[in-house]
Chains A and B, each alone.
Chain A
């Protein structure tokens, strides 16, 4: 089949599924957070409130789209587009499953397997800060500007521990291709214990995975690190002046980034689409895609769980935590992994 046609079809499928996931991730989050906080959550629109996301999207679509008179118009409009475009690009290198044959066409469940896939995700995620920063600056208003300044400092600081913890599993897998990283975890200790990077010798990445998760909260501006949009101090932070679909754009970008970083965590530490026990191939409906979605879902649930339980950090605590705890721990983890990998061979 024509390569370009196949790529377009795959991209359309991924974007479609991702958009649906974004829509319903918000519903799931509201229900989960409500349950944890002993509330009911949205349950009026449709059965169990299942139509709530659609109602919310309609509301946002029909809202008046305002541009503040003092704003830098071009950048003000550009910012949400930039945020959502960048957050959608990085999903293109994530492998969701192994090689499959759909309607007689063999293809990988992945859009592109770059041999620098991991670095591409890090590079694109380091660009996502521009959406936030430009939104805050172009609004020409003090709370958005404060939010933007916080966002840029915070995202630069937490990118460092994130990058360092990502480097450690790369050393063990000896490749930068996300597909290759999953393939390197495809065996079992003693015949049943999965050799995922989080459990795998020579140095199990338990600490690395923990630091990665915390840095991921900060990179996606989630509670307890949602200082750029802290409601209690900054109204709504960097997107205070935005309304209608532009506001929805930031919302979608945040959830899309969350999904991407959870996919990355699944691939790097939890063995991607590999099942936790050998011999599960015969069970119907429990294919590679199921395991990938389950692992990513568990990580996303942790994001929601933390959001429902943790209070927001103060700004100096946030910075001190990044530089005097996260960074040294991630550095030590990388050094020990590197030494052990070199020693074992």
Chain B
């Protein structure tokens, strides 16, 4: 059952991911991205990371992508025109893709040589309590620095926005 669900949602994630790039209309691309995030969250759930799964949907699919679609609709972006692409890209794209996948596979293989793979249900430390404790003890400094960075980004956005108004 878990294996079937994993294959199903992994396939959905990949197909949606490819669709993000291939779709001509920005709204459709955004929707495909939401599909990827939602199926990733199902995979998190299967791996035992319940809190991360819910946060993935809540934050990415529910908040950030809503803003994306909102902005796309607000500026009423139309469908893009498809060009045939540069001849270099057409020539080197395929081999480079194969090379990238090979390098990724090699890195994973070298980094986890004796790994027996992932077992579903083997990890139980993904509850909200565990994530909260980890954030506020072990990873307190990175967490606070990240929130400071986000704050700076927000302040910067407000400043830029005010300049536009004047």
Q: Are B34 and A130 in contact (CB under 8 A)?
A: yes
Q: How far is the CB of B140 from chain A (nearest CB, A)?
A: 17
Interface residues of B, dominant DSSP: helix
Q: Do B57 and A137 touch (CB < 8 A)?
A: no
A interface SS class: helix
Which of B25, B58, B74 is A149 in contact with, Cβ under 8 Å? B74
A129 to B73, CA, bound (A): 14
Mark contacts of B59-86 with chain A using CB atoms, 8 A cut-off: 1 yes-contact digit, 0 otherwise: 0011100110110011000000000000
Per the bound structure, the CA–CA distance linking A75 and B25 in Å amounts to 12
Given contacts A119-B128, A126-B66, A130-B34, contact A145 B73 (CB under 8 A): yes
CB of B61 within 8 A of CB of A149, answer: no
Question: How far is B51's CA from A72's CA once the two chains are assembled, in angstroms?
Answer: 35
Q: How many A-B residue pairs have CB under 8 A?
A: 69
The distance from the CB of B72 to the nearest CB of chain A, in whole angstroms, is 9
Q: Identify the closest chain B residue to A176 (Cβ).
A: B128
Using a CB-CB cutoff of 8 Å, which residues 31-77 of chain B contact chain A?
31, 34, 50-51, 53-55, 57-58, 61-63, 66-67, 69-70, 73-74
Closest chain B residue to A127 by CB distance?
B62
| Inter-chain contacts of A133 with B (CB < 8 A) | 66, 69-70, 73
A37 within 8 A of partner (CB): no
Q: Is B27 in contact with chain A by the CB < 8 A criterion? A: yes
Beyond A127-B61, A130-B34, whether A119 also contacts B55 by CB under 8 A is yes
Whether B54 pairs with A120 at a CB distance below 8 angstroms is yes
The residue on A at minimum CB distance from B67 is: A156
The answer to whether B74 and A126 touch across the interface, beta carbons within 8 angstroms, is no
Question: Is A23's beta carbon under 8 Å from chain B?
Answer: no
**Are B128 and A129 in touch, CB under 8 angstroms?**
no
The chain B residues found within 8 Å of chain A, CB to CB, are 25, 27-28, 31, 34, 50-51, 53-55, 57-58, 61-63, 66-67, 69-70, 73-74, 127-128
Chain A residues in the interface with B (C-beta under 8 A): 72, 75, 114-116, 119-120, 122-124, 126-127, 129-130, 133-134, 137, 145, 148-149, 152-153, 155-156, 159, 176
